[in-house]
Amino acid sequence: MKTRPLILLSLLTAAASAAPVSLFDGSSLEGWQIRPGEEKWWKVQDGMIVGGSLEEQVPFNTFISSARPYANFELTYRLRLVKGEGFMNSGMQIRSQRSEKDSEMIGYQVDAGSGFWGDLYDESRRNTALAKGTAPDAAKDWEWNEYRVLCEGPRVRTWINGTLVTDYTEKDNSIPQTGHLGLQTHGGGKLLVQMKDISINELASSDGSRTPEAQRASFVLPKGYTAELVASEEQGVGKPITVAWDRHGRMWTTTALEYPVDANENEA
């Protein structure tokens, strides 16, 4: 029975996706797109993508977007706002589209800026914060902050400096679950937006309809290993967090259902 934790560990390793891919080479904007007429607001400087200006007010929201769309992924990047004056805000668009009529992007935005760090905003669509950041002290104004964004099917989670700040699940099936990335410099202020260390790890498509047995059968295992289904939510083990076996071979687990509320502050 003591081999089971090792088997679980091997499953996690085997199921992991490929290594992250860098989205910025540090010296050019290859792989990124700027709307014609907005080139003055974007540049590469000292190994960073830089948007905005400290000398001139940015007149409207401007974005630099990825050349290709992404669906399910883990995105990491470092972001800093350089203080100027006026309204100073930024954010990273995910699963978004370029507007055909103006400079906007349409879709989810992982917000950045004092009072907005980590909020998930629906830019130019529902125009509201879909989820407010739950850890306002995780980010530091005017300093480098490390973001991690995990998109899996309808679920979007964000971390800032290692702290989970947003956990949102989309309920509207009409909302696209794929689209472009896009760094925003918000209009109405003088500021610089700096971004570096940008990488993405694309994940397999989420399929919530698969049975536990179907998921088990999909694992690619090293030679000599087998996967055994020992429990599933269908068997009443709800939202397991940790799994361990005692010396008698009995399985013990801590589940998220033991918490009074989940990460969205809904009753568990």
Q: Are residues 159 and 240 in the same domain?
A: no
Domain of residue 186, residue span: 19-202
pLDDT, residue 10, reads 39
pLDDT, residue 16, reads 46
* C-alpha span between 20 and 8 (Å, rounded): 23
Q: Are residues 160 and 50 in the same domain?
A: yes
SS3 63: strand
Q: Which residues of 144-177 are buried (b: 16+ CB within 10 A; e: fewer)?
A: ebebbbbbbeeebbbbbbeebbbbbbbeeeebeb
- For residue 7, the Cα-to-chain-centroid distance in whole angstroms is 29
* Within a domain: 87: yes
Q: Per-residue pLDDT for 210 more than 80?
A: no
Domains: count for the chain: 2
Closest CA to 94 of 158, 204, 179, 173: 179
Of 202, 223, 246, which closes a domain? Answer: 202
Q: Are residues 197 and 224 in the same domain?
A: no
Q: Which residue bears the tokens 């087998």?
A: 226
Q: What is the largest CA-CA distance in the chain?
A: 70
* Structure tokens given for 59: 């007149």
The answer to whether the beta carbons of residues 94 and 224 sit under 8 Å apart is no
* C-alpha span between 171 and 111 (Å, rounded): 20
* Within a domain: 30: yes
SS3 237: coil
Q: Are residues 81 and 51 in the same domain?
A: yes
Assign residue 52 a region: left if phi > 0, alpha if psi is -120 to 50, beta otherwise?
A: left
For the chain, what is the radius of gyration of the CA atoms? 21
CA atoms within 13 A on the CB side of 141: 10
218 band by pLDDT with thresholds 50, 70 and 90: low
pLDDT tens for 15-64 read 445 689 999 999 999 999 999 999 999 999 999 999 999 999 999 999 99
pLDDT, residue 14, reads 38
